[in-house]
Each structure stands twice: as C-alpha cells, then as structure tokens.
Amino acid sequence: MTTTSLTLRALPGLPLVKPGDDLGALLATGISAAKLQLADSDVLVIAQKVVSKAEGRYVDVRTVTPSAQAKGLAALVDKDPRLVEVILSESRRVVRHRVNVLIVEHRLGFVMANAGVDHSNVGTEEETVLLLPRDPDASAARIRADLTTRLGASPAVIIADSFGRPWRRGIVGVAIGAAGLPTLVDQRGRPDLFGRKLRVTETAFADEIAAAASLLMGQADEGLPAVVVSGLGWSLAPTTAATLVRTPDEDLFR
Amino acid sequence: MTTTSLTLRALPGLPLVKPGDDLGALLATGISAAKLQLADSDVLVIAQKVVSKAEGRYVDVRTVTPSAQAKGLAALVDKDPRLVEVILSESRRVVRHRVNVLIVEHRLGFVMANAGVDHSNVGTEEETVLLLPRDPDASAARIRADLTTRLGASPAVIIADSFGRPWRRGIVGVAIGAAGLPTLVDQRGRPDLFGRKLRVTETAFADEIAAAASLLMGQADEGLPAVVVSGLGWSLAPTTAATLVRTPDEDLFR
C-alpha cells in the first residue's frame, strides 16, 4: 500500500429494501445517481441489514416454538424464548451468557451477540426478526458480479456488521462477507527475539475498511447502507471474510 | 453525525523521532508542509510508536535482570526472559499464554499482546525495547494543546496502536489515547424485546477512526505516522481512550 489519501462516500439512501429486491440493481442505480465512477480498486461496503432484507432472511417469531433448551436459556438471559430459539438455530454453541447478554458462535464461526439476529421488531406488531445472510461471502461475490455487469467496473465488495469485543467497550464495524480483495494483509515482518526468523503480522484489512465505512453509516438505520471507499491498494489475491474467523486451534478462548 | 463523506490524508513522513523531540512542533511543521488547513472537527491520528519515541520510552534490555517469575514464564512462551520481565513490569496480570503468545492486561487496562512492548530491536546490536506512552490520554491532550497554540485550530487527537482480537484473525487499529472527541457514541436506541425501554448501543467511535487511519499508516513503520481525518461530526462531550476499556464488572472474560 502506497496510498497517502483515502476518500469514503456514502451513497444517498437506497429505497426501502424488500425481500426479492435486486440489490445489485438498486446499488448500481444509487451509484449512478450519486455520479460516482467506480474503479476496480474501489471498495463498496454494504450494511448487512439491507443484504439480509433483500434475501428475505425474516423469521416471524409467532411461528416459532421454543425448545426446552431455549426456554431455560431465555430465563437465564431474560430474553423472549422464541427469540432465543431463533438465535440457537443460527448458532453452533453458546459462548457466554448473562442477564441481557447472549454471545454465541454463529454457524459461520462469528463470535457475536445474539447470532446477529436483529430483533428490533419483536414486541411490535410485526414480530419479525432478521437473520444474517445465509452465506455473506457468496452474497458479496454475487453483488460484485452483478455490479461488474451493470457498471463495467469490478469494485471489491464488503458486507459489514458491527460486533462487540470482549475487553473494549463499544461495537465496531467488521466484515462478514467479502469479494475481490484480500481480507488479511501482511505487515512488514519483524525479526523475532533472536533476530532470525521473520515474524509476520497480519492486519485485518477488510475489518479496518468495514470500521472506516461504519463511521459514515453511523446512526442511520437504513439511511446510509452503502459506502464507497477509494484510494486503497492491494497486491494479494482476494480472500473471503470467512478467513477472518480464527480456527479452533489458534483461538485462545476455546 | 450527518456526514456523507470522509477524507483521510497521511502527513508525509516526519523526521526520525528521537527522545525529547517536540512532537507537537514536528507535527505542526508536517501539517504546514502538507498545506493542510486543520479544522476543530478534524481528527489527527498519531501512531503510538512516534509518541513513545518522543517520550523516550526505551528500555535497554541489557540492564534488565529477570525475576524468577519472568524466567519461568519466558520458558513457557519461548521469549527472552529480560523481555518478559519488561512486559510484566508494564502489566497488571497475565491473561493468556502459550508458546509465542503472551497476552496481558497492561497497567492501563488494555488487554493486548506483550503489553505493547515493541521488541523489534531485541537481538540486534541495540537491544532496546519501546514501551507504550506513560499516559497516552495525557499525551494526546498535550499534543492537542500544543497544536492549538501552533496552528490556531484544535483538532481532536487520537494515539493509535494495533491490537489482536480473540476470535478474529489479524490486528486492527485502536485508540489508546484521545483528546477532544467522544471515544464512544450512542447509536440509535432500539426498543428491547418488550418494546418499552430503549436499548442504547454504543459505537467505539475512536477505535473506528483509529482503524480507518491504520489503513493509511499500513505497512509504513515510521513512514506515515500521522493521518488527518476530515468530515466527521460529533455532539457529545470529549472522553478519554481509557473509557474504551471495559470495567471488570462488564468484562465477560474475567
């Protein structure tokens, strides 16, 4: 990376995204309307929520019958048993729980609160929850292919969510899906203590881009779900966001 | 935040920073040389390493006598006992260890590898290591005050380092010192499961800014140690980076 400046631009709000919508078409329209000329070296960061909506990842909790396990856990964390059932159905295991806190390993390996299940509608008339995309890396690749056809340029695509962290307060943007860029990049190797082997430090490139874009997406719930990042460079081959998940053997907390 | 675009610009490299250097003066010169007009709403992100260097936070490991505890731990993690002694002297407790891995709670509360002790010189002729600034929030405030005097504008200041995370691969930029901006901001409150109380989600604003700046600092070891971020807005009162550290009662991993 020899970059010395970066620009991030939020697309003006997309129309309200509904299940079955062609998100690539909506994004291409938004990009044209904003008079943005995308380059292959640009990164389009898209909020997870609009991808999930376009993919129709809703569950009506009124149709959910909680298991005994879900009921027990719901009592411990003081959450709706039907919601806990949905969370467990999206999870491999419960990592930590406490009143109001339910941290799980999502079926895709992400360690996150509530398996990413957005339950802001539970308790309202609709009572639907929204799950993460089924395969966010595949979603990113599909959107990228669609944009390439429509725009004649192949920007990298990141699908971003915000995760909490164990030892630091506040959530930060992270990449849950990616296409067209390396999600991890090597930093300059440092000689180890004995001055011989080179130790390579990897930077979570896609997570840093997601965090940067999150500054613009900010408080807007659906207002600014897409941000174009220009000025980055990379030479490594593209990898998926799944690569960002630590494997069990390198996870210090398993 | 009503921002729809952000710009990040790296200052051209500072001269090699030495103990006792007036970092505020060096930065002000760099900002002028780059013909940047800073505004109060700009954020100047500075790499921890140059702040530590200016503050002379070096330890010559040849002068260090490792304790029995440091020797025992050094054998377990396969590190130089003198280095482990320095790391322990900067730490409250060891959080996790394994061959090549030593994660501690730094005396300032940061859970991080090697207490942030940069040992890239150990094993070379110099054999010095570099500690984190003594009080990075105070360093940020001091640099900010100095820049205000010199430039007539009061940009916010963040001192950035890069930390690993337990469940995700790769390091990401984080704020270890801050002045002049809120380090945590509230996201739109979401109604909780029962539709009554508003749940407030906090975003680690300063960490996201540090991650964004890290994209530009990138691989440059000392080449691009300062980045100006323009286009952000905030209304909350300034807080410190210390605020980003979870208190023991909200830490799920203690």
Measured distance CA(A208)–CA(B207) in Å, rounded: 10
Burial class (CB in 10 A: 0-12, 13-18, 19+), A89: middle
Distance of CA A73 to the CA centre of its chain: 26
Q: What is the pLDDT of residues A142-184, one digit of tens each?
A: 999 999 999 999 999 999 999 999 899 999 999 999 999 999 9
Q: What is the pLDDT of residues A126-144, one digit of tens each?
A: 789 999 999 999 999 999 9
What torsion do the CA atoms of B60, B65, B70, B72 make, to the nearest 10 degrees? 130
Cβ separation of A193 and B83 shorter than 8 Å?
A: yes
pLDDT at A121 over 70: no
The closest alpha carbon to A86, from A61, A108, A111, A110, belongs to A61
Average pLDDT, integer, range A190-200: 47
Measured distance CA(A32)–CA(A43) in Å, rounded: 16
ipTM of the modeled complex: 0.93
Is the CB of residue A9 less than 8 Å from the CB of residue A45? no
Amino acid A119: pLDDT: 82
What torsion do the CA atoms of A157, A163, A165, A169 make, to the nearest 10 degrees? 120
**Quick check: A211 contacting B, CB < 8 Å?**
yes
Tokens of B181: 């901006």
Average pLDDT, integer, range A9-22: 89
Q: Which residue's entry shows tokens 């965090």? A: A211
Q: Which residue's entry shows tokens 């380090």? A: B183
Amino acid A191: pLDDT: 46
Amino acid A224: pLDDT: 85
Residues from chain B that touch A243, judged by Cβ atoms under 8 A, are: 169
Q: What is the pLDDT of residues A95-120, one digit of tens each?
A: 999 998 899 999 999 999 999 998 87
Q: What's the pLDDT band for A65 if we cut at 50, 70, 90?
A: very high
Choose among A167, A188, A204: nearest Cβ to B171.
A204
Cβ separation of B215 and A221 shorter than 8 Å?
A: no
Residues from chain B that touch A35, judged by Cβ atoms under 8 A, are: none
Amino acid A199: pLDDT: 57
Within 10 angstroms of residue B68's Cβ, the number of other Cβ atoms is 8
The closest alpha carbon to B179, from B243, B87, B233, belongs to B243
Average pLDDT, integer, range A29-56: 94
Average model confidence (pLDDT) across chain A: 89
Within 10 angstroms of residue A99's Cβ, the number of other Cβ atoms is 9
The stretches in chain B having pLDDT less than 50 are 1-2, 190-198, 219
Amino acid B13: pLDDT: 73
Cβ separation of A253 and B253 shorter than 8 Å?
A: yes
Residue of A nearest to B97 (CA): A252
Average pLDDT, integer, range A52-72: 96
Cβ separation of B174 and A168 shorter than 8 Å?
A: yes
